[in-house]
Structure 1
Amino acid sequence: MAATTPKRDGWRLKQPSVIPGFGLTLGFTLAYFSLIIMIPLIALGLRSAGLGFDGFWKAASDPRVIAALKVSFVTALIAAAINVVFGTLIAWVLVRYRFPGRRIFDAVVDLPFALPTAVAGIALTAIYAPNGIVGQIFAPLGIRIAYTPIGIVIAMIFIGVPFVVRTIQPILEEVSREVEEASATLGASRFQTVTRVLLPSLTPAILTGFALAFARGVGEYGSVIFIAGNIPFKSEIAPLLIYIRLQEYNYVGATVIAAVMLLISFAMLFVINLIQAWSRKRFGYDN
């Protein structure tokens, strides 16, 4: 006879759970979220608001601040866009092909996660400096990579590509080869199969990878300062300018730069999330 669950007043009795219940997990989540994320952000906002609009605008509109913000966000956007293209190709190769050394190659993709950013910056600087292995090839052509925004983009590509690969890879593994074969059977070309069959299913993951790589690039410090050259109005990034303001005991200036970066990052990520939500509804992946 099958075991029955006792009832009381027409309702099934609540069974004890091995894992913590909703109340405990929700309380822990809210406490952790508040201590780690919300309280620091609120403190930053209150400190910035205490300056008043005129004081905030004066500090935020400083030409050096604007130039540093431009360098950080433009290079992060370029690096994230490049990572989307080549990160998708890397994920495709790892999922669709079997070749000698594949597992090693797959593990190397995660190397930027574990490698200290300062070590990555020193290594990239040594390679792309005018006397480096790669830099000395371009130096006679008048092209400088290290100590320019180009070097910043390369550093951001290095630290951002794992986010794109690891976001797209599991989604790509769920796409059956039979779908591609069916598309070919129906007369679709390879280009049509990629653009009309594969890309729609990968679009939400691609946008997520782009957002993660962009966010990491904007806030990156360790791997960028060595290869950037840190020249004001040319290759100085916003995180470095915040550090400089703190070294000058200009806490107000540092707070304003951080607040502006927060606002711009939030706005851009909000737009990306809207596009991602639209793509899920557009291609039928939103429940």
Structure 2
Amino acid sequence: MFFLRRHTLPGFPLTFGITLLWVGLLVILPLLALLLRPWQDGTAAIWQTLHDPRVFAAFRVSFGCALFAALLDLPLGILLAWTLVRLRPPGYKIINACIDLPFAIPTAVTGITLATLYGPNGWMGKLLAHTGLQVAFTPTGIVIALMFVGLPFLVRTIEPVLQNFPSEVEEAAFLLGATPFQKFYRVILPAILPATLSGFGLAFARCIGEYGSVIFIAGNQPFRSEIAPLLIVMRLQEFDYSGATTIAVMLLLTALLCLGGVSFLRLRASRGLIMEETK
């Protein structure tokens, strides 16, 4: 006798089929086409692109600046999330809305704004010029632009964990004589570590492929401040589709490896936290 499985969601086969169709057409199919495109012109074109010193320099700038920006965003993200959740300062709603601005405004607007602000004639650019520092048209400008783009990922992943973290645990640590550093390191940090790793991975992956907010402030000097996404656009303008897609595949694989590694570390951290709670 056959029994029909009852699903909580009405019309489960239909909704599941629509989900698979959406994932296949909008995610898997484009990625598969991207992975296969470089091989259509043979392996010689791929090796030529991978052995191009300019491509390696662009990768170094993109990966190095993305990693540095994500690392700088770590303490800022934790501090902002803590301030929004625990302190609720005056103008809380305005600060909360400003954090989401990188998600809302076009990246080109961000790039033009930063280039205007930190340019030689900008407000911050003039002040920094007196100290001998130049931000615009240097890797430093790229890092600042990527920090602006990546910061919301850290804040928005850590904030819910802090909201659900019971304040009584912090009070108990304080009553037991823990110093502020010990309270953060031994009580708060283990709880937010999985979310922090997730935010770091998302910020780093986003920064690797960032284009619009960077090109206006980077200066785009080969071997110095030229990023890999810009090189993809230049290869496309030269009708070098194999070279453009090869660079794109390298960026894609790096982002996937980063997210996979972060997911593994997050899982290990979560298991470690669960084991500590069960002891």
**TM bracket (short chain):** over 0.9
User: Please, which of 238, 248, 262 is the counterpart of residue 248 of structure 1?
Assistant: 238
Work out the number of aligned pairs and report it. Answer: 276
Residue range with higher mean Cα deviation, 196-205 or 23-32: 23-32
Offset at residue 188 of structure 1 (A): 1.4
Tell me whether 1:281 sits opposite 2:255 in the alignment: no
Tell me whether 1:207 sits opposite 2:197 in the alignment: yes
CA contact under 8 A between 1:72 and 1:218: conserved in structure 2? yes
Q: Which digits, 9 at most, give the CA deviation of each residue in 1:244-285, with x for residues without a partner? A: 011111111101111111122222222111111111111118
Query: What's 2:115 paired with?
Result: 125
Whole-angstrom distance in 2 between the partners of 1:42 and 1:174: 39
User: Please, which of 62, 71, 75 is the counterpart of residue 85 of structure 1?
Assistant: 75
User: Please, which of 52, 57, 61 is the counterpart of residue 67 of structure 1?
Assistant: 57
Tell me whether 1:76 sits opposite 2:66 in the alignment: yes
Q: Which digits, 9 at most, give the CA deviation of each residue in 1:94-133, with x for residues without a partner? A: 0001332111111111111111111111111111112211
Query: What's 1:37 paired with?
Result: 27
Offset at residue 76 of structure 1 (A): 0.7
Whole-angstrom distance in 2 between the partners of 1:171 and 1:146: 36
- AA partner of residue 162 (structure 1): P
Tell me whether 1:141 sits opposite 2:131 in the alignment: yes
Query: What's 1:4 paired with?
Result: none
Tell me whether 1:101 sits opposite 2:101 in the alignment: no
User: Please, which of 214, 220, 224 is the counterpart of residue 230 of structure 1?
Assistant: 220
Offset at residue 21 of structure 1 (A): 3.2
Offset at residue 15 of structure 1 (A): 6.1
CA contact under 8 A between 2:49 and 2:243: conserved in structure 1? yes
Whole-angstrom distance in 2 between the partners of 1:79 and 1:109: 16
Offset at residue 23 of structure 1 (A): 1.7
Q: Which digits, 9 at most, give the CA deviation of each residue in 1:211-257, with x for residues without a partner? A: 11111111111111100011111111111100001111111110111
Whole-angstrom distance in 2 between the partners of 1:75 and 1:227: 13
SS in structure 2 at match of 1:284: helix
Identical pairs, percent? 50
Whole-angstrom distance in 2 between the partners of 1:249 and 1:238: 17
Whole-angstrom distance in 1 between the partners of 2:43 and 2:56: 17
Change (3 A) 1:10 1:252: closer
Q: Which digits, 9 at most, give the CA deviation of each residue in 1:147-196, with x for residues without a partner? A: 01100111111111111111110110011111011011112111111001
Query: What's 1:5 paired with?
Result: none
Query: What's 2:184 paired with?
Result: 194
Offset at residue 16 of structure 1 (A): 8.0
CA contact under 8 A between 1:161 and 1:213: conserved in structure 2? yes
CA contact under 8 A between 2:37 and 2:245: conserved in structure 1? yes
Whole-angstrom distance in 2 between the partners of 1:259 and 1:10: 48
Whole-angstrom distance in 1 between the partners of 2:196 and 2:238: 41
Which one has the bigger helix percentage? 2
CA RMSD of aligned residues (A): 2.0
Query: What's 1:221 paired with?
Result: 211
Residue range with higher mean Cα deviation, 173-182 or 98-107: 98-107
Query: What's 1:25 paired with?
Result: 15
Query: What's 1:6 paired with?
Result: none
Query: What's 2:150 paired with?
Result: 160
Structure 2 residue runs without a partner (length 5+) = none
